[in-house]
Amino acid sequence: MASQEIETLAQALSRLPGLGPRSARRAVLWLIKRRETALVQLLGALEALRDRLVECGTCGNVDTTNPCAICADPRRDARSICVVEDVADLWALDRARLFTGRYHVLGGRLSALDGVRPEDLSIPALIERVQGGGVDEVVLAMNATLEGQTTAHYIAERLEGLPVRVTQLAHGLPVGGELDYLDEGTLAQALRARRPMV
Ligand SMILES: [Zn+2]
């Protein structure tokens, strides 16, 4: 029988994506054996996350500064905005190091089934950003899922009439593919071959 503390930690860890109760328990044991090293390090990292992370008021990225490092970087092209569903997608694209513009995180995708409406996402903020001027291109980098593509088409429609080029990742993306799971080469290829949205 494990102590209440161990049980609590194992339960908390088992809720993490990719971890079940069994691997959570193994992680706890692993940490207990490394109380002075790995556990201290993990505690420090978790505390830093809790205390310092903020959401960027411009793009929705998560960082320790607001605006985030990407929005604040003068070397990044403010005229090009890449729209993604989630922060994980932003990180995946940025790891590929091919896109030199800025980002806009929607915070999800439109879904009739789950009742996610445009105003539940940061779509109005995106339209405002583009209306504010100084943007030449909006790259829609939604996942190649039905909901991702519905979201992309909706945004393209909303941007119609604004003086901006709307492009979309090339369909080198596997159908149903989620950006975060793609290797960097595939992502880079999809970005390089991006095409105008009709
Ligand atoms: Zn930002």
pLDDT digits (tens, 9 = 90+) for 78-125: 999 999 999 999 998 888 777 899 999 999 999 999 999 999 999 999
> Rounded to whole angstroms, how far apart are CA atoms 155 and 132?
16
> Rounded to whole angstroms, how far apart are CA atoms 86 and 79?
21
The set of residues, in sequence order, having a beta carbon less than 8 Å from that of 174 and lying 6+ positions away, is 144
* pLDDT digit string, tens, across residues 27-46: 999 999 999 999 999 999 99
Cα of 103 from ligand 1 centre, angstroms: 7
Query: Of the candidates 195, 187, 194, which has an alpha carbon nearest to the alpha carbon of residue 98?
Result: 187
Cα of 102 from ligand 1 centre, angstroms: 8
CATH number for the 4-52 domain, one of 1.10.287, 3.40.50, 1.10.8, 1.25.40?
Answer: 1.10.8
What residues does CATH 1.10.8 cover in the chain?
4-52
Give percent of the chain with pLDDT exceeding 90. Answer: 71
* pLDDT above 80 for 183: no
* Mean pLDDT confidence for 62-74: 95
> Rounded to whole angstroms, how far apart are CA atoms 188 and 185?
5
Cα of 35 from ligand 1 centre, angstroms: 36
Residue 147: both structure tokens together = 């909901």
Residue 33: both structure tokens together = 């054996």
Domain 62-196 matching CATH 3.40.1360.10: the answer reads: yes
Q: pTM (2 decimals)?
A: 0.77
Cα of 65 from ligand 1 centre, angstroms: 9
How would residue 198 be classed by pLDDT, with cut points 50, 70 and 90?
low
pLDDT of residue 97: 79
- Ligand 1 being an ion, which residues bring their Cβ within 5 A of it? 56, 58-59, 61, 67-68, 71
Q: Are 93 and 141 in contact (CB under 8 A)?
A: yes
What residues does CATH 3.40.1360.10 cover in the chain?
62-196
> Rounded to whole angstroms, how far apart are CA atoms 84 and 148?
9
Cα of 60 from ligand 1 centre, angstroms: 6
Cα of 24 from ligand 1 centre, angstroms: 33
Give percent of the chain with pLDDT exceeding 70. Answer: 95
